[in-house]
Amino acid sequence: MTTFTMDPDWLPFHPSPSKPSFRLPEHSVDAHCHVFGPGAVFPYAPARKYTPCDAPKEKLWALRDLLGFERNVIVQATCHGQDNRALCDAIADSGGRAKGVASVSATICDSELAVLHESGVLGARFNFVRRLVDARPDHEYEALAERLARLGWHVVIYFEAEDLPDRFEFFADLPVTLVVDHLGRPDVSKDVDGPEFGLFLRLLRENENMWCKVTCPERLTRSGPPDYTDVVPFARRVVEEFPDRVLWGTDWPHPNMKSHMPDDGLLVDYIPRIAPTPDLQQKLLVDNPLRLYWPEENF
Ligand code: 0GY
């Protein structure tokens, strides 16, 4: 049995999150969260860029119930590389209340993709954040995107805003439904009406196959918790302009946070600030994620 020691500067998830004041609508989905290990059962990848603390499925289910979510979308984290066993184990344990987004290699064969699909995986993540993964050639992503689209999957893309000008056409040309992580990671000290965020809004405007997670104020903020005042205009702009293509999630257990560890209950209380009406909340938390991840239920 391999044991792992978390990085010395690793911030563990909040030990006792508060119960939110905001009452989530019925059937709400936490559409971006992770499971880590436990490393003794599901070893972390040799090529990982960080070693986290274990964040097993049981803790995720407890958080789901405390916050008032019904379901989870678990996104494969880079510390597990392309070994999706911890993810699939969690989905299998969820009683139909979790779906997954995997990480897959360019050489994955159709039968392996079929096994993931059967397990409840409906998407793959393409990660372009250099501190998290080594670069892969674009043609690998293009070929994979075509294969995944045929399966009815979508692709989650994670990138930094400063890389968008170079990547704009590449993303626009990927022939698959795309979901952008964490608002495209804008620099929120800049103007929400400025050219940088304007480019991101243009990407969403010109490509109706693109969705956006309005997640991670805790990663983007400079003004800090719990109000994340500087992130609100960015997230709210996207929610209001693209109400049918937005998703929300906790990002528990919040990998690689350095400034602070959010209280997940207070993160839920932030939702009405970016989705101020019951109609927007229903789309963000229920209708959109169910349409993407539980299409078989025809809500
Ligand atoms: C996130 C963000 C991060 C990490 C990962 O897969 C990952 O390792 O996603 C990050 O460090 O920004 O989405 O949880």
**How does pLDDT run across 99-147, given as a tens digit for each residue?**
999 999 999 999 999 999 999 999 999 999 999 999 899 999 999 999 9
**How does pLDDT run across 163-174, given as a tens digit for each residue?**
999 999 999 999
Over residues 21-39, mean pLDDT: 98
* pLDDT of res. 3: 87
- CA of 21 relative to ligand 1 center, distance in Å: 27
* pLDDT of res. 135: 86
**How does pLDDT run across 202-243, given as a tens digit for each residue?**
999 999 999 999 999 999 999 999 999 999 999 999 999 999
pTM: 0.97
Rounded percentage of the chain residues whose pLDDT exceeds 90: 97
List the one residue out of 122, 29, 128 whose CA is nearest residue 84: 122
Over residues 39-67, mean pLDDT: 97
* pLDDT of res. 180: 98
Mark 239-273 as b/e (b = at least 16 C-beta within 10 Å). beebbebbbbbbbbbbbbbeeebbbbbbbbbbbeb
Rounded percentage of the chain residues whose pLDDT exceeds 70: 100
- Domains along the chain? 29-293 (3.20.20.140)
Q: Is 181 touching ligand 1 by the criterion CB < 6 Å?
A: yes
Our answer to whether residue 251 is catalytic in this structure is yes
**How does pLDDT run across 237-274, given as a tens digit for each residue?**
999 999 999 999 999 999 999 999 999 999 999 999 99
**Residue 79 CA: which ligand 1 atom is closest?**
8
| 298 has pLDDT over 90 | no
**How does pLDDT run across 280-297, given as a tens digit for each residue?**
999 999 999 999 999 988
| 32 has pLDDT over 80 | yes
| 1 has pLDDT over 80 | no
Q: Is 78 touching ligand 1 by the criterion CB < 6 Å?
A: yes
Average pLDDT value for the chain:
97
**Residue 49 CA: which ligand 1 atom is closest?**
8
Question: Atom 9, ligand 1: which residue's CA is nearest?
Answer: 77
* pLDDT of res. 299: 66
| 47 has pLDDT over 70 | yes
